[in-house]
Amino acid sequence: MGEFELIQRYFLPLAGQQKSRSLILGPGDDCAIQRIPAGRDLVFSVDTLVEGVHFPRNYRPDYLGWRALAVAASDLAAMGADAECFTLAVTMPEADEQWLAGFARGLSRASKAFGMALAGGDTTSGPLTLTLQVHGTVEQGTAIRRSGARSGDLVAVSGTLGDAGAALDYLNEASPSPHVAAVLDRYHSPRPRLALGSAVRGIASAAVDISDGLLADLGHILEASEVGARIDSARLPVSMPLKRLKGDAALDFALRSGDDYELCLTIPAERWKNAPDEIRKQLSVIGTVESRPGLFLDGKPCGGDTGFDHFRSRR
Amino acid sequence: MGEFELIQRYFLPLAGQQKSRSLILGPGDDCAIQRIPAGRDLVFSVDTLVEGVHFPRNYRPDYLGWRALAVAASDLAAMGADAECFTLAVTMPEADEQWLAGFARGLSRASKAFGMALAGGDTTSGPLTLTLQVHGTVEQGTAIRRSGARSGDLVAVSGTLGDAGAALDYLNEASPSPHVAAVLDRYHSPRPRLALGSAVRGIASAAVDISDGLLADLGHILEASEVGARIDSARLPVSMPLKRLKGDAALDFALRSGDDYELCLTIPAERWKNAPDEIRKQLSVIGTVESRPGLFLDGKPCGGDTGFDHFRSRR
């Protein structure tokens, strides 16, 4: 089977399996066409994953397919956008049918789970590199930006932090213990917080997804909002498996390791008090936004990541 | 200067220099935001260029910057869309300031020439690969698709064909003759037919940009429209420099070589008769759409490229 037949066979089904409310022309023409509903804005983000840099060499293709869309969709969650569709540019050394079948299977699961149709793409030959652009929509003016944090707002994070980062130490375990399996699952199958992101529109004053580590990503909110914050290590949500596996080092994973794709939000105290239980129970309050610049952990300055990329937050 | 400072210095100016009518949040947050005007559709396409595959190794970075956006924007021209903005995912081995400065210079010229603002991007380390996604808008329902050609329509192409393909033979000429310089310019500085594409909305029944060669790309229209066509080699627009350089082989370049980024259109005969002179003088009528399937050149069947990629037309 030729390259084009393979692509058609494995990728085209991804175009039809999801009904996007807004995609009116999918793959096959010079361009795709999306009709954004009146009163809504288009929200979009592009992410590249390079083999050996963003995922291990010879990484399982079905894990990669899921991960690629999950990582990209996480940026939509951070804006509070409703996911709609995506484009996929794949550069690969050769069209290996077994690899393509696995990759498409993982991508297809993610596409269904997140409700995102494939809108178009490009396939080229070269070293394995994936670029996905995700499209979401949001009621006009309601996207959650990084720049909205104000002194007095609470700092909150979803889920638990550090698991996916710890997983990197166990990627080659042949028969992982339950704790190891738990953190490996966080790495292989990140779940972008799309429903939560959408639910905190109008509640959160700023948001970012945690891809580079809490300190770095919270730092992006603080810089964009021109504020500081203090956070309390005792309040960081750390999973039992991570504590068991890493002991005292667990805190460091929670502060500095990325790949969890949880959300970090700032929320005005009054809105937090009145937030629905459904939202409150998905979040841990870990600190407070202050007018004093800088990020303080248990009272001590903690620069986080000072190398800061305005073009794009993620390396 | 670190990687992030370099990127900020060279790419961020591209975000501000163009006023997009619709881009309301550019680079720097988790996502960009575009507000599509009421009554218009979003039209978008993604293209990847790999070093050594789509452009020569050690290609001049300013040429590459122009070419990358021009090639991508050509797909907007083929839909009749008005160009608005683009995202840029760059994978490069290292942040080389001289290379970045040249690349950004070429990209900036193209961004101004086509009126497209940089909306966002991603930079990663790895083998040199560029993925650009271009966004345009069009009045709802007026985008020109590949599937609209009908028996009796005329087949027309813009400009001259084959020049850029012939240029590949002269890329290393130290002091090119005027004819060589002319075809080299077509390769290094493709000019997407954005104004023409926009002008033939409501006139053309189908359109494609010629990136893979006339036979292959016209073949895409015929397949999508479920029709055939005959074309007349004597009517193909071939430039004087190409004739001088390639003699009898010029026709083959015009038929089969890509990289010119001209448009191939089908136009109902009545509409062609009434088309403004401004449009007529930019086009050459080269044949006619027929209900009989297949593509015929001077009466002989001429399959063109049968390997056909529904996922994406361009290799």
Query: Tell me, what CATH number does B15's domain have?
Result: 3.30.1330.10
Residue B265 inside a domain? The answer is yes
The answer to whether residue B314 scores a pLDDT higher than 50 is: no
CA distances for A159 relative to A272, A284, B96, angstroms: 17, 8, 39
Greater pLDDT, B229 or B3: B229
Cross-chain Cβ contact B133/A87 below 8 Å: yes
C-alpha distance across the termini of chain A, in Å: 36
Q: Does A125 touch chain B (CB under 8 A)?
A: yes
- For residues A148 and B102, the answer to whether their CB atoms sit within 8 Å is no
- Three-class SS state of B79: helix
A2 burial type by CB count under 10 A (0-12 exposed, 13-18 middle, 19+ buried) = exposed
* B110-134 mean pLDDT: 95
pLDDT recorded at residue A303: 67
- Same domain? A77 vs A215: no
Residue A242 inside a domain? The answer is yes
Instruction: Tell me how close the Cα of A12 comes to any Cα of chain B, in angstroms.
Output: 6
Average pLDDT, rounded, for chain B: 92
φ, ψ (nearest 5 deg) of residue A77: -60, -40
- Three-class SS state of A229: strand
Residue B312 inside a domain? The answer is no
Amino acid at B308: F
* B226-255 mean pLDDT: 97
pLDDT band at B310 (very low <50, low <70, confident <90, very high): very low
Cross-chain Cβ contact A53/B145 below 8 Å: no
**Selection from A1, A5, A314, A288 nearest residue A149 by Cα:** A288
- DSSP 8-class letter at A309: -
pLDDT tens, position by position, B100-112: 999 999 999 999 9
* A182-207 mean pLDDT: 97
The answer to whether residue B139 scores a pLDDT higher than 50 is: yes
Share above pLDDT 70 across residues of chain B, in percent, rounded to a whole number = 93
pLDDT band at A9 (very low <50, low <70, confident <90, very high): confident
- Same domain? B285 vs B152: yes
Q: Give DSSP secondary structure letters for A133-186.
A: EEEEEEETT-PPPGGG--TTPEEEEES-SSHHHHHGGGTT-SS--HHHHHHHHH
Q: Does A119 touch chain B (CB under 8 A)?
A: yes
| Token pair for A298 | 């248990």
Q: Does B42 touch chain A (CB under 8 A)?
A: yes
Question: What does the alpha-carbon distance between residue B117 and residue A102 come to, in Å, rounded to a whole number?
Answer: 37
pLDDT recorded at residue B315: 34
- Same domain? B271 vs B164: yes
Amino acid at A254: A
- Same domain? B205 vs B295: yes
Q: Does B269 touch chain A (CB under 8 A)?
A: no
pLDDT recorded at residue B311: 41
CATH number for the domain harbouring residue A171: 3.90.650.10
The answer to whether residue B306 scores a pLDDT higher than 70 is: no
Amino acid at A290: E
- Three-class SS state of A249: helix
pLDDT tens, position by position, A64-119: 999 999 999 999 999 999 999 999 999 999 878 899 999 999 999 999 999 999 99
pLDDT tens, position by position, A247-301: 999 999 999 998 999 999 999 999 999 999 999 999 999 999 999 999 999 999 9
- For residues B168 and B260, the answer to whether their CB atoms sit within 8 Å is no
Looking at the structure of chain A, the number of domains it has is 2
- Same domain? A175 vs A283: yes
Residue A313 inside a domain? The answer is no
CA distances for A220 relative to A55, A150, A211, B112, B285, angstroms: 24, 14, 12, 30, 56
* B283-294 mean pLDDT: 97
pLDDT recorded at residue B7: 78
pLDDT recorded at residue A304: 53
The answer to whether residue B308 scores a pLDDT higher than 50 is: no
Q: Does A132 touch chain B (CB under 8 A)?
A: no
Domain, as residue range, for A222? 146-301
pLDDT recorded at residue A258: 86
pLDDT band at B96 (very low <50, low <70, confident <90, very high): confident
CB within 8 Å of B93: residues ≥ 6 apart: B125, B126, B127, B128
Instruction: Tell me how close the Cα of A174 comes to any Cα of chain B, in angstroms.
Output: 29
The answer to whether residue A191 scores a pLDDT higher than 70 is: yes
The answer to whether residue B21 scores a pLDDT higher than 80 is: no
- Given B30, B126, B310, which is nearest A8 (Cβ)? B310
- Same domain? B270 vs B204: yes
**Selection from A217, A215, A209 nearest residue A190 by Cα:** A209
pLDDT band at A307 (very low <50, low <70, confident <90, very high): very low
**Per mean pLDDT, which range of A25-29, A224-228, B299-303 is the poorest?**
B299-303
Cross-chain Cβ contact A48/B89 below 8 Å: yes
pLDDT recorded at residue A111: 96
Residue B310 inside a domain? The answer is no
- Same domain? A65 vs A185: no
pLDDT band at B78 (very low <50, low <70, confident <90, very high): very high
Cross-chain Cβ contact A308/B4 below 8 Å: yes
C-alpha distance across the termini of chain B, in Å: 36
CB within 8 Å of B233: residues ≥ 6 apart: B251, B255, B297, B298
Last residue of a domain, one of A139, A173, A203: A139
The answer to whether residue A142 scores a pLDDT higher than 70 is: yes
Q: Which of residues 9-28 of A touch B (CB under 8 A)?
A: 11-12, 24-25, 27-28
Burial A271-293 (b: 16+ CB within 10 A, else e): bbeebeeebeebbbbbbbbbeee
- Same domain? A100 vs A220: no
CB within 8 Å of B200: residues ≥ 6 apart: B80, B144, B207, B263, B265, B267, B279
- Same domain? A63 vs A157: no
| Token pair for A260 | 């969890």
CA distances for A93 relative to A120, A122, B56, angstroms: 20, 14, 17
pLDDT tens, position by position, A147-179: 999 999 999 999 999 999 999 999 999 899 999
Interface residue of A24, A31, A125 to substitute, partner B, most B CBs within 10 Å: A31
Residue A252 inside a domain? The answer is yes
Residue B309 inside a domain? The answer is no
pLDDT recorded at residue A5: 78
Q: Which of residues 211-250 of A touch B (CB under 8 A)?
A: 224
Last residue of a domain, one of A139, A172, A203: A139
- DSSP 8-class letter at A239: -
- Same domain? A17 vs A108: yes
Residue B231 inside a domain? The answer is yes
- Same domain? B157 vs B285: yes
- Same domain? A264 vs A129: no
- Given A44, A224, A308, which is nearest B31 (Cβ)? A44
Q: Where are the alpha helices (DSSP H) in chain B?
A: 3-16, 61-79, 97-114, 163-167, 178-188, 194-199, 214-225, 240-246, 250-256, 269-274, 277-280
Question: What does the alpha-carbon distance between residue B130 and residue B127 come to, in Å, rounded to a whole number?
Answer: 10
Share above pLDDT 90 across residues of chain B, in percent, rounded to a whole number = 84
pLDDT tens, position by position, B48-71: 999 999 999 999 999 999 999 999
Cross-chain Cβ contact A120/B44 below 8 Å: yes
Q: Taking the complete model, does pTM exceed 0.90, yes or no?
A: yes
